[in-house]
Structure 1
Amino acid sequence: MDSVFFMSLLPVLLAFLMMGLGLELTTTHFFRVLRKPKIIFITLFSQLVILTSLAFLICIVLELPPLLAVGLMLLAASPGGPTANIFSYLYKGDIALNISITAMSTLISIFTLPFILNLSLMYFLSEQTPVDLPAIKITQVFFITVIPVIIGMFIRARFPSLSITVNRPMRIFSIAFLIALFCFAIFKERYNLVEYFENIGIATILFCFSSLFVGYCVPILLGIRDEQARACTFEISIHNTAIAMTMAISVLGSTMIAVPAGIYTIVMYTFATLFGFIISRQPRVINTTKSGLQDS
């Protein structure tokens, strides 16, 4: 496979993936977000502040190689992916909340992802001057995330039957896309795969466990309903590894930086499935507080 061709194709493929997300959205979802500021704030704060801080701490404590550390930080800065909606559906989470937060976090990541990535490159690669992502690359991130989502929403509004027809194929495409990205990153570094897993395997496991723990326990402790807490769990832990790997390969030109996201793809699906099974076997948590009985 020609790597130049594949890297040029990545943004196009990701755009189709994000359009699939748009097929599940309507303007009603965004109005619903405005009526639940507490849970939205908790989820976004957990994603952008708590988890990125934990990722940085993991990088420091485990003394990760610089490029792998940047890759883990890039992963932490990536928003929740469409797959989080599927997990939320399977394990009885608030699906509407998932879709809304996914859309909002994707929009916010246009600004937060380059910022966190820039700081990570400066710190771990010992850059003497700030590393600026070219404006054209930041614009590229916008065009391969937000614009396709808007197009997907338009298709759903104008051709509702068509959106239902292509919804399942788009989900299958999303899974195939992640697998293709993972295989490409692993193929490029296949001779060092064992070494990479030794270097980043423990870090990704710790980060995934932390994401699940924070995503479920923090909302519950703050009086959020169990259904919404489950949605938060998968929204926070199921990172959009497609965005992370696309940024690493097509924007930064480094398959090494893409490795943490590739390894995390396996780890997050495994851990999220086990975690979802565990919480589904437990009695539903019913908050008796006012905040628990009402929509947050």
Structure 2
Amino acid sequence: MGSVLTTIVLPVALGIIMLGLGLSLTLSDFARVGRHPRAVVIALVVQLLLLPAICFALVVAFQLPPLLAVGMILLAASPGGTTANLYSHLFGGDIALNISLTAINSIIAVVTLPLLTNLAFAVFQAEDRSLGIQFSKAVEVFAIVLLPVALGMLVRWWKPAFAARMDKPVRITSIVILAVVIVGAVVSNRDVLLANFAQLALITVLFCAISLTIGYVVPRLLRIERAQAIASSFEIGIHNATLAIVIAQTVIGSVEMSLPAAVYGVLMFFIAGAFGFVISRIGRRQTAESAP
């Protein structure tokens, strides 16, 4: 991508998405964790521990080149966002739990994202670049992830009626921006993307499908109610691809590292939609079987 697009357009686009997320959050969303502690803890354990381990296993199995491998881990470490909330709403998830998980994950990601990416650099012996070791890069991640969210929350606290009116249009705008950023990343890097698409398409589809599945199955096995399991599934299964692209290209300075997120960002809409229809059918069948 051109320098202007990388240094200005991408961060601004992500800032708008994260600002929109902040407009939907209040401090009570964090306090809600106390009312659903098991669901939150289970989702966070799957998101922060199980999912990166699965991603590492997939990367090793597919024998990805080092920078693409690190890009996959960067994607796995990225939190959910407005797209996860939208899919959860469409398929009957607990939106309140989604919002709480997104809020907590966005904060935790400031620490875990650099740690996991640095670990991937070390394991896969990628180029001598690292995210989070240098203080300036840690500050960039903080600014990219948290400052727009905090600003959105401040606006909601200060002008709640305005934030309520803006919620739907900002959500729609965020989805559009997400799509534009991903398409822009694909078009701008089409040559290198086409060269790597064959090995990235299958692994990103598998990663998305596995993430959605374990995000639903693990909570259900641990007797979390269905609506909360659906919320957990989409929160765990739908990652903030825009964040991964911005960090890869703007903070780390690697176009190649952003390719897994770009491919994932295109394909995950279809995988998440198909998964939503599957669990909806399962839910209707279970309801019919339990009816007298």
The residue number in structure 2 matching 1:148 is 148
Superposition misfits of 4+ residues, deviation over 4 angstroms: 126-132
Instruction: Name the stretch that deviates more: 165-174 or 222-231.
Output: 165-174
CA distance in 2, matches of 1:129, 1:140: 15
2:14 is the counterpart of 1:4:
no
| Alignment-mate amino acid for residue 6 of structure 1 | L
Q: Is the 8 A contact 1:85 1:99 kept in 2?
A: yes
The alpha-carbon deviation at position 132 of structure 1 amounts to: 5.2
RMSD of aligned C-alpha atoms?
1.9
Q: Distance in 2 between matches of 1:58 and 1:80?
A: 20
- Stretch of structure 1 that moved more, 125-134 or 180-189: 125-134
Quick check: 5-14 or 116-125, which moved more? Answer: 5-14
Give the match's secondary structure for 2:99.
Answer: helix
- 2:175 and 2:275 map into 1 onto residues whose CA distance is 20
Higher mean alpha-carbon deviation, 266-275 vs 193-202, is at 193-202
Paired residue for 2:274? 274
Structure 2 CA distance, aligned partners of 1:48 and 1:206? 18
Q: Does residue 244 of structure 1 match 2:244?
A: yes
Counting aligned pairs with the same residue, the percent is: 42
CA shift digits 1:173-217 (9 cap, x unpaired): 212322232223223321233332101111101101110110010
Structure with the largest fraction of helix = 2
TM-score normalised per structure 1: 0.91
For residues 54-93 of structure 1, the aligned pairs below 5 Å read 54-93=54-93
- Letter of the 1:152 partner, please give it: G
Q: What is the CA distance between 1:127 and its match in structure 2?
A: 6.4
Find out whether 1:235 has 2:209 as its counterpart.
no
How far apart are the structure 2 equivalents of 1:130 and 1:140? 13
Q: Distance in 2 between matches of 1:130 and 1:245?
A: 15
How far apart are the structure 2 equivalents of 1:17 and 1:278? 28
Tell me the secondary structure at the aligned position of residue 283 of structure 2.
coil
Residue in 2 that maps onto 1:195: 195
- Distance in structure 2 (CA, Å) of the matches to 1:131 and 1:122: 11
Q: Which residue of 2 aligns with 1:179?
A: 179
Partner residue of 1:291? none
Does residue 38 of structure 1 match 2:38?
yes
Task: Name the stretch that deviates more: 199-208 or 149-158.
Answer: 149-158
Cα distance in 2 for partners of 1:23, 1:213 equals: 29
| Aligned pairs, number | 285
Structure 2 alignment gaps of length 5 or more:
288-292
Distance 1:136 1:172 in 2: 33
Distance 2:260 2:129 in 1: 25
The aligned counterpart of 1:108 is 108
Q: Which amino acid aligns with 1:49?
A: L
Cα separation, 2, equivalents of 1:198 and 1:130: 27
Of the structure 1 ranges 249-258 and 276-285, higher mean CA displacement relative to structure 2 is found in: 276-285
Q: Secondary structure at the match of 1:282?
A: helix
| Mapped partners of 1:7, 1:145: distance in 2 | 17
**In 2, Cα distance between the equivalents of 1:132 and 1:64?**
23
Look up the SS of the partner of 1:223 in the other structure: coil
Q: TM-score, normalised by structure 2?
A: 0.92
1:260 aligns with 2:233: no
- The aligned counterpart of 1:137 is 137
Change in Cα spacing, 1:86 to 1:150, as seen in structure 2 (3 Å) is: same
Task: Please state how far the C-alpha of 1:131 moved relative to its aligned partner.
Answer: 6.9
Q: Deviations over 1:191-247 (max 9, x none)?
A: 233332101111101101110110010000000000100000100001011110111
Read off the aligned partner of 2:116 and give its amino acid letter: I
Alignment of 1:161-176 (within 5 A): 161-176=161-176
1:158 aligns with: 158
Could you tell which deviates more after superposition, 70-79 or 5-14?
Answer: 5-14
Aligned to 2:290: none
- Structure 1: 5+ residue runs without aligned partners? 287-296
Q: Residue type of the partner of 1:40?
A: V
> Which has the larger displacement, 222-231 or 36-45?
36-45
Q: How far apart, CA to CA, are the structure 2 residues paired with 1:27 and 1:87? A: 23
